[in-house]
Structure 1
């Protein structure tokens, strides 16, 4: 029975893949490489066999962290591994051959890896970009749009090759009419601007 269900699901998914049309997923965004720590992230620092200097710290707005024995160490823009090596180097003055592991436990990321939503969203905010994120994912995260939003006049401000572009999006068609063709891929650094309607 389980094999039959798996076969049916495989056939169904294969049929959807060849179907095309408005139900297609947004195009995938190429991988951006390892996650870079940003201001507002929280990092858990574990120094092996040294619990007195192991702790969880926030990355300050200036992109730096402060830990016992290590003051004002740049964290933003680095991967967790790069930060761990920097902490090991700094702790090497006090601890013999420190072994440090850094785990990012709260993600915001650098501005270039965020999706910012402004205007008539229910909860305007900056979101950490996730691989394959779409406009619908962004709208779910911000709680949709307000009753005063001019959803079909919204735009995504995107920087491509150093040039700002304005990409029109149809939020009202997507949210209120269920038009999945209005669901587009978003990219790291996008700014979704949702204007207010006048009536």
Structure 2
């Protein structure tokens, strides 16, 4: 296995990624080490992040819908300063807010103009998330992917498996606040056949896909 191939066209992967690989014991020549098969994961860890928990960032395209008030409804791209313009309300700082929180704030601010406003905020377009694919793939490195990207999609974006890849030893390293590193195992044949939970597994920001 070529675990020292941490290079892409832009240089070496981050020290954090290197530390994740070391902590998972991937340089050992012995057994694969501790892991959990993807089919053993609860459903909450298979899907992508809950849309209700999404945090707005610059570049997102928001749909602001004010019911029965088309003149105040709008679609707006979040500017680099984290703000959008809403008719009558003016500039609103939306960076770091969740859509539901923003909707409540807008309802409060619109009461000066309309009676009992009802606002819905949705993120029509969101910014890519950063994941990494390393090990026995043609082009190891960091990837910017859309939320909900699958393992197979990430592998395809990395040029596919090399001839040295162990198709039964594909892992995702995942960390979460106040939680231990998870090492989730996948079988390539099951992924390509659409069997089990693997095909529905959605990558999240910071995930590292490792092909042994």
TM-score interval, normalised by the smaller of the two chains? 0.5 to 0.7
1:108-123 matches, cutoff 5 A? 108=127, 116-118=131-133, 120=139
Q: Offset at 1:161?
A: 4.7
Provide the C-alpha distance between the structure 1 equivalents of 2:140 and 2:85, rounded to a whole number of angstroms.
35
Partner of 1:162: 178
Check conservation: 1:41, 1:58, Cα contact below 8 A: yes
Pairs within 5 Å for 1:53-132: 53-60=72-79, 63-68=82-87, 69-78=89-98, 80-108=99-127, 116-118=131-133, 120=139, 124-129=143-148
Question: For the structure 1 residues 29 and 148, does the alpha-carbon distance in structure 2 shift closer, same or farther, using more than 3 Å as the test?
Answer: closer
For 1:168 and 1:30, locate their aligned partners in 2 and report how far apart those are by CA, in whole Å.
14
1:192 aligns with 2:208: yes
Q: Which runs of 5 or more structure 1 residues have no equivalent in the other structure? A: 1-23
Q: RMSD of the TM alignment (CA)?
A: 4.5
Aligned length: 160
Task: Describe the SS at the equivalent of 1:81.
Answer: helix
How far did residue 159 of structure 1 move? Answer: 1.7
User: How far apart are 1:93 and its partner, in Å?
Assistant: 3.5
Q: TM-score scaled by structure 2?
A: 0.51
Question: Kindly tell me: are residues 161 and 48 of structure 1, through their superposed partners in 2, closer, same or farther at Cα, counting changes over 3 Å?
Answer: closer
Distance 1:63 1:162, change over 3 A: farther
| More helix per residue | 1
How many Å separate the matches in 1 of 2:140 and 2:123? 28
Q: Select the structure with the greater relative contact order (CA < 8 A; seq sep ≥ 6).
A: 2
Q: Gaps (5+ residues) in structure 2?
A: 1-37
Q: Does 1:27 align with 2:34?
A: no
Which residue is 1:36 aligned to?
Answer: 54
Question: Structure 1 length as normaliser, TM-score?
Answer: 0.53
